[in-house]
Structure 1
Amino acid sequence: MKTHIATLIENIRASFWFIPVLMTLGAALLAYAAIQIDLIFGDDWLRSFGWLFINNPDGARAALSTIAGSAITVAGTVFSLTMVALTLASSQFGPRLIRSFTRDRSTQYALGTFVATYLYCLLVLAEIRSSTDFTLVPNLAVLLGIVLAVAGIFVLIYFIHHVSVIIQAQHLIAVISDDLQETIRRLYRPALAPDSDEAQQLKQAAEMHAQIGEDGGVVPAGASGYLQAIDEDALLELAHRRDLVLDLAPRPGDFVLAQGALARAIPAEAADEELAREINAAIVLGAQRTPHQDLEAYIYQLVEIAARALSPSLNDPFTAMTCVDRLGAAISLLDEMQPPSPFRFDGDGHLRLVVNIFTFAGAVDAAFDMIRQYSRTQAPVTIRMLESLAQIAAQTKRADRRAVLQRHADMLRRGAQEALPEPHDLSVVEERYRRVMRAIGDRASPSAGCSPRHKRRK
């Protein structure tokens, strides 16, 4: 249930309607409160506001009508500018990047400000009374309407500036990169010491999982869609209650086919219809990938910007190089972290759940494979990718991760040798490749961190 709620909250955050609706409801409450204060305390204390104090019913109606008409007109302008930005983002950066625009809080607050001001003025207008026997002008409510109008002017100025900023590639790349690094810190944790008790437990669980092999009964998926989230607590409780081990095949971000293999239950006879129903209830499927538990979704957003920038229609290698820099920073941060364990244990220490995790090698492949394929003839991008690999290799300590970086450096080198005709470009690529190899060799040597020059001085 907690995972379903978290996914719902993430989808609400990415929606364009939630903040404006809240602000509109808040405007209705503000109008009611202001009118009630006017009825209770009167208007004598407001006369000190001078020309802002409007006690004439016709003047109050004229002021509120003008503000309401202007607010709804500007709200339409804000909506139009937003649609232009979304159209531009979809065509230039890719349709999957629209989510980053709809999540933008400044745009939501700007639209909500003008819609809320419009509703506020309408509600206050309805309370103005004027007849031969009775006159009611809610002076505080009218004054607040004027204040909202003045605030709306500054909101509009800021929004125009903000739109000019968010459509820039550099800004969008920075926003996605920040979200990517925040997700890494949320899903991962600092690396464990190899000899720690937890590390030993994970090693034993890996050996136990290898012994299980392909045994177990297949649990089918109930529907097709992208796996958005997994409620691991519910699955762990289910496995403990039924005294079995669940091996979940897909991970968040994978596309699941209806009646396809969703999990394996061990022992095999436990894979009945009731178990399938409970497992399907513990996962969230959707029409698109969401980054709540899917780190690869953010990586692919940066990759998509880079791939489009390298297309012949745009031919913008600088944007692609910026994406490479940001991806390199994310991979570097990921190298410092410990991926979540694929093994989940119950309170008695028994292995109950095995999940499919996103590895360091998978992250490097997702970040660099497609860009490498699109940039075979782009020497600057190839060079920048090798520089990024050298920076990552200079800090990684694990041999398996250095092997991943070397594999990508080798592929970049071979691609450049086959696609770049200019000898000077090839010589630069070779020099950057040697940097990667030196960084990998230095970290692999026992005296890593001590340069040859320092050795000679000793």
Structure 2
Amino acid sequence: MKLLFRKLKAFFDSIESQIAFYPTVIAILGSVFAFIMIYLETLGASKYFRDNIPLLVLDNEETARAMLGVFIGGLISLMVFSFSMVMVLLNQASNNFSPRILPGLISNRKHQLVLGFYLATLLYCIFILVSIEPTADKDKIPGFSVLVSIILTVFCLAAFIYFIHSISQSIQINNILEHIYESSKNRLQSLVKDQRKHENNFPDTSNWHQYNSNRSGYFQNIAIDALIDISIDKETKFKILVAKGNFILDGVPLFSSEKELEDEVVEEILGAFLFAKGELIKNNYILAFKQITEITVKAMSPGINDPGTALNAIDYLTELFALRMKKEDLSIYYREDEQYIYQVSISFEELIYNVMASIRLYCKHDIIIVQKLLVMFKYLQYQPCADDSYKDVILNEVKVLAEESRKNLSNDRDLQTLEHYLEDFEVKD
């Protein structure tokens, strides 16, 4: 049951990030609401309001048809314009920042809800228009349903104004970086909160039995509770051989077991691994570092040349690295103080190296960016960390950055500034 729940959750997370998910759901609800209104009309809803509040109910068939036709045409135009703006937003963000940020923009729930409300209102108006039959009896004209369509259209106009405001804010780099940062921050804080101080008493795994993946995709998550249940039942322990977020190929070693397992058990364990065709920050905080790094590199590329954006991105990297330093590299899963699963994870050293390797390539010649990076390292040196070796990793990155910068800075004033900032790290030429 736990495994099924995790798979359903993973499936929901994957479709929720699609731009058509919420609009489709809301459009279906709009259609259902239209049929409910048509049913209420057969019960005399319009007649009741016409007898009690006649000012609110239309009693002319042609007027009702004309109004609904105008609403339908206007909403179609509104939708076309709104979807066009979304496509322009995605294209501009991809060209100026990074294609990796597109899933985050597409999954913006506020925009999906607005587009869904457009669709729901449009379908409602279409069904109500079709339900109007030629008649001379005023009681059979769905005046109340037309009144509801007027109200919904007014709300669509208000939603359109909000949509214009929201989409203009979404394309701003500060808001994009803030969204990436907040998503990764929440994930990291959750991991730091759940980690336990412990000694690594996990047995040697060099001679364990290895089992391969039976599919390809991004290793998104794993049903830990289900895997621990299998571990206890089979009296064995497991080691996950790949880190979350990595793309796994079919046939690549995926996990190892202390004891040899039957084929049925292996299939059950493989079912506990959750794969996806894309990456989500809320499941893998490493993706946030990748995205912010790519934004920094793109900003410093000759085609964009936007050092201001690079400086902002480094500020967010600084905060994320400070949070990451509170997390141990070791990932061991427990139940009642017994260690059952060892999870291979990306170490702090590997993470900061991958980030800095990309940034150094485009920023080593810019003293302003180099200065900002050294300020980041100085800040990180004074942050609490889960492992004292993290400070040595930071110092090594400072040395590499200093070496590369000295080779690429030709101005004496820039070199003096570099040496001034390096004094805090005792890095000699």
Could you state the TM-score of these two structures normalised by the residue count of structure 2?
Answer: 0.91
Shift of residue 50, structure 1, vs aligned partner: 6.9
Letter in 1 for 2:85: L
Cα distance in 2 for partners of 1:72, 1:121 equals 11
| SS of residue in 1 equivalent to 2:378 | helix
Answer with 65-74 or 372-381: which moved more. Answer: 372-381
| SS of residue in 2 equivalent to 1:309 | helix
| SS of residue in 2 equivalent to 1:351 | strand
Contact 2:289 2:355 in 1 (8 A): yes
Correspondences of 1:21-100 after superposition (within 5 Å): 21-38=24-41, 39-45=43-49, 53-100=57-104
CA distance change for structure 1 residues 142 and 390 in 2, over 3 Å: closer, same or farther? same
Shift of residue 423, structure 1, vs aligned partner: 1.6
Q: CA RMSD, aligned part only?
A: 2.4
Query: Structure 1, residues 241-267: CA drift from partner, whole Å, max 9, x if none?
Result: 111111110021112222211111113
**How many residues align structurally?**
422
Contact 1:228 1:292 in 2 (8 A): no
The residue that corresponds to 2:382 in the other structure is 394
Cα distance in 2 for partners of 1:187, 1:246 equals 20
Cα distance in 2 for partners of 1:49, 1:431 equals 80
Correspondences of 1:3-402 after superposition (within 5 Å): 3-38=6-41, 39-45=43-49, 53-132=57-136, 136-189=140-193, 199=197, 202-203=198-199, 206-209=200-203, 212-267=204-259, 270-335=260-325, 337-339=326-328, 342-347=331-336, 349-397=337-385, 398-402=387-391
| SS of residue in 2 equivalent to 1:285 | strand
Letter in 2 for 1:87: N
Contact 1:389 1:405 in 2 (8 A): yes
CA distance change for structure 1 residues 436 and 125 in 2, over 3 Å: closer, same or farther? farther
Shift of residue 183, structure 1, vs aligned partner: 1.6
Cα distance in 1 for partners of 2:365, 2:380 equals 24
Cα distance in 1 for partners of 2:419, 2:329 equals 37
| SS of residue in 1 equivalent to 2:131 | coil
Contact 1:53 1:143 in 2 (8 A): yes
Contact 2:184 2:285 in 1 (8 A): yes
Cα distance in 1 for partners of 2:216, 2:15 equals 22
CA distance change for structure 1 residues 180 and 436 in 2, over 3 Å: closer, same or farther? farther
| SS of residue in 2 equivalent to 1:262 | strand
Unaligned stretches of 5+ in structure 2? none
Letter in 2 for 1:265: S
Cα distance in 2 for partners of 1:277, 1:20 equals 37
CA distance change for structure 1 residues 132 and 50 in 2, over 3 Å: closer, same or farther? closer
The residue that corresponds to 1:424 in the other structure is 413
Cα distance in 2 for partners of 1:393, 1:175 equals 26
Cα distance in 2 for partners of 1:327, 1:6 equals 29
Cα distance in 2 for partners of 1:221, 1:43 equals 66
Contact 1:307 1:320 in 2 (8 A): yes
The residue that corresponds to 1:453 in the other structure is none
Q: Identity of paired residues, percent?
A: 22
Letter in 1 for 2:283: Q
Contact 1:187 1:340 in 2 (8 A): no
Query: Structure 1, residues 415-435: CA drift from partner, whole Å, max 9, x if none?
Result: 111111112112222222233
Answer with 154-163 or 93-102: which moved more. Answer: 154-163
Query: Structure 1, residues 377-419: CA drift from partner, whole Å, max 9, x if none?
Result: 1221111111111112222355212112111111111111111
Contact 1:129 1:135 in 2 (8 A): no
Contact 1:188 1:340 in 2 (8 A): no
CA distance change for structure 1 residues 110 and 134 in 2, over 3 Å: closer, same or farther? closer
Contact 1:240 1:346 in 2 (8 A): no
CA distance change for structure 1 residues 437 and 154 in 2, over 3 Å: closer, same or farther? farther
CA distance change for structure 1 residues 128 and 395 in 2, over 3 Å: closer, same or farther? same
Shift of residue 334, structure 1, vs aligned partner: 2.8
| SS of residue in 2 equivalent to 1:188 | helix
Shift of residue 271, structure 1, vs aligned partner: 4.2
| SS of residue in 1 equivalent to 2:309 | helix
| SS of residue in 2 equivalent to 1:229 | strand
Letter in 1 for 2:151: V
Cα distance in 2 for partners of 1:256, 1:432 equals 42
Shift of residue 436, structure 1, vs aligned partner: 4.8
CA distance change for structure 1 residues 424 and 26 in 2, over 3 Å: closer, same or farther? same
Query: Structure 1, residues 130-157: CA drift from partner, whole Å, max 9, x if none?
Result: 3246751222211110111111112112
Shift of residue 48, structure 1, vs aligned partner: 7.5
Cα distance in 2 for partners of 1:150, 1:231 equals 46
Unaligned stretches of 5+ in structure 1? 192-197, 439-458
CA distance change for structure 1 residues 301 and 163 in 2, over 3 Å: closer, same or farther? same
| SS of residue in 1 equivalent to 2:227 | helix
Shift of residue 213, structure 1, vs aligned partner: 4.2
Letter in 2 for 1:329: E
Contact 1:221 1:256 in 2 (8 A): yes
Letter in 1 for 2:218: Y
Contact 1:14 1:102 in 2 (8 A): yes
Could you state the TM-score of these two structures normalised by the residue count of structure 1?
Answer: 0.85
The residue that corresponds to 1:450 in the other structure is none
1:406 aligned to 2:409?
no
Cα distance in 2 for partners of 1:131, 1:119 equals 23
Cα distance in 2 for partners of 1:240, 1:171 equals 46
CA distance change for structure 1 residues 277 and 190 in 2, over 3 Å: closer, same or farther? closer
| SS of residue in 2 equivalent to 1:28 | helix
Contact 2:367 2:409 in 1 (8 A): yes
